[in-house]
């Protein structure tokens, strides 16, 4: 028990949208995103309001692309990193759609897709939206230091991505199926360095990927890409090593959204990207495009979240982490 896959029948990823900041738009995936803002305030007067505005813009793009009205959506599932997830609630309140608030740190995007898939497959909904966001400036001042300090970063620290990704999950057939999911267990390997969250999350990613391949009947080579959420360079190499030690040799492309979103050589991002918007925007932009254009057929995407807060980190407590995985496929 409780190591099982969730298998879905006739649940589809119908559409996606993504809005990003300047730095993300200057990265290698720029053409995959729907909208970007040069202004980190998104025209608002605080970073927190900016993040909500980014989510609102993203939902408006999604509804436009999918030709849906808010009244067509049964439930929205979402959350973000701002304390008490207020970036999401201030954004969602405009649409009057029943809302299920989630918190899984940077794994929230994948968590939202899984919950939406269960509601749809169970016959409780026809069209659901999953949406998450993160903003460099809200995260930096909440988790680290005021931006004005210009703090130097450690070599393993990651850059919180300014981005939002939104997903329309539906029982209406489309090319991309949400075939199965593996919900994460909280893993705590007593890692305490809040500037090395990739290492903490790598343990959770390893646990979930291992359980995914142990329980199901798929092999790693059945996937075109296996992609973790936002481990960054440091965490991703740890995950690869841990999986090898666990006897799981990944025989396909194994990458990470936090590595894909920036150009390591040209952009000053240290260990890669992170944040709720990282896996959300890379999946909604880059991978949705690859799947839609039949460049890849099977994707295992593993959202990873570090379940710390500022006080737990400052008081030297460990960083519990979690990872949720979904299998997206263009095959029946």
Q: CB-wise, 4 or 293, nearer to its own copies?
A: 4
Contact pick of 30, 39, 93, 251 for its own copies (by CB under 8 A): 93
Question: Shortest distance, CB of residue 29 to its own copies, whole angstroms?
Answer: 27
Contact pick of 31, 38, 67, 122 for its own copies (by CB under 8 A): 122
Contact pick of 322, 325, 326, 328 for its own copies (by CB under 8 A): 322
Q: CB-wise, 185 or 219, nearer to its own copies?
A: 185
295: which 2 tokens?
């460049």
Distance CA 1, CA 30 (A): 43
What is the CB-side half-sphere exposure of residue 181 using CA atoms within 13 A? 23
Q: CB-wise, 41 or 103, nearer to its own copies?
A: 103
The DSSP 8-state label assigned to residue 97 in this structure reads: -
Question: Shortest distance, CB of residue 180 to its own copies, whole angstroms?
Answer: 11
> Could you give the dihedral angle defined by the CA atoms of residues 74, 7, 1 and 244, in that order, rounded to the nearest 10 degrees?
-120
Count of residues that bind its own copies according to CB under 8 A: 57
Contacts 24+ apart (CB under 8 A), 28-33: 28/260, 28/261, 28/262, 28/263, 29/260, 29/261, 29/282, 29/285, 29/286, 32/285, 32/286, 32/288, 32/289, 33/163, 33/281, 33/285
Question: Shortest distance, CB of residue 10 to its own copies, whole angstroms?
Answer: 13
Neighbours of 114 (CB within 10 A): 28
Query: Residue 79: which H helix or E strand, with range?
Result: strand 75-80
> Could you give the dihedral angle defined by the CA atoms of residues 23, 29, 30 and 34, in that order, rounded to the nearest 10 degrees?
-110
Does 103 contact its own copies by CB under 8 A? yes
Does 41 contact its own copies by CB under 8 A? no
Contact pick of 26, 41, 65, 86 for its own copies (by CB under 8 A): 86
Which residue's structure tokens are 């794994």? 107
Q: CB-wise, 22 or 317, nearer to its own copies?
A: 317
Q: Which of residues 137-196 bind its own copies (CB under 8 A)?
A: 183-188
Question: Shortest distance, CB of residue 103 to its own copies, whole angstroms?
Answer: 4
Does 316 contact its own copies by CB under 8 A? no
Contact pick of 33, 119, 233, 262 for its own copies (by CB under 8 A): 119
What is the CB-side half-sphere exposure of residue 197 using CA atoms within 13 A? 31
Distance CA 170, CA 199 (A): 35
Between 239 and 278, how does the x/- string for binding to its own copies read (CB under 8 A)? ----------------------------------------
Residues in the site for its own copies, rule: CB under 8 A? 1-2, 4, 6, 46, 48, 70-75, 79, 81-86, 89-90, 92-93, 96-105, 111, 115, 118-119, 121-124, 183-188, 307-312, 315, 317, 320, 322
């Amino acid at each position: 028990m409780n190591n099982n896959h969730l298998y879905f029948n006739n649940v589809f990823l119908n559409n996606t949208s993504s809005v990003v900041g300047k730095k993300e738009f200057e990265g290698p995936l720029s053409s995959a995103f729907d909208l970007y803002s040069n202004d980190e305030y998104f025209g608002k007067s605080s970073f927190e309001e900016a993040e909500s505005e980014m989510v609102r813009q993203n939902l408006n793009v999604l509804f436009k692309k999918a030709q849906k009205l808010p009244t067509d959506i049964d439930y929205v599932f979402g959350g973000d990193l701002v304390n008490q997830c207020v970036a999401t609630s201030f954004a969602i309140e405009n649409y009057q759609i029943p809302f299920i608030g989630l918190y899984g740190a940077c794994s929230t995007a994948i968590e939202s897709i899984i919950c939406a898939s269960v509601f749809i497959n169970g016959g409780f909904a026809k069209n659901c939206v999953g949406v998450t966001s993160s903003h460099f400036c809200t995260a930096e001042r909440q988790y680290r230091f005021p931006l004005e300090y210009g703090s130097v970063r450690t070599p393993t620290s990651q850059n919180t991505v300014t981005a939002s990704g939104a997903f329309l999950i539906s029982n209406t057939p489309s090319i991309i199926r949400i075939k199965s999911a593996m919900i994460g267990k909280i893993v705590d390997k007593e890692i305490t360095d809040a500037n090395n969250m990739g290492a903490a999350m790598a343990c959770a990613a390893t646990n979930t990927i291992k359980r995914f391949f142990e329980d199901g009947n798929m092999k790693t080579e059945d996937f075109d890409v296996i992609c973790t959420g936002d481990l960054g360079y440091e965490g991703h190499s740890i995950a690869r090593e841990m999986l090898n030690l666990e006897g799981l040799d990944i025989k396909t492309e194994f990458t990470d959204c936090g590595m894909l979103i920036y150009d390591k050589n040209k952009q000053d991002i240290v260990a890669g990207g992170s944040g709720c918007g990282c896996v959300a925007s890379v999946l909604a932009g880059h991978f949705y495009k690859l799947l839609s254009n039949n460049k890849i057929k099977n994707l295992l995407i593993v959202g990873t979240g570090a379940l710390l807060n500022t006080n737990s980190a400052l008081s030297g407590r460990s960083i519990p982490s979690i990872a949720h995985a979904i299998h997206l496929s263009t095959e029946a």
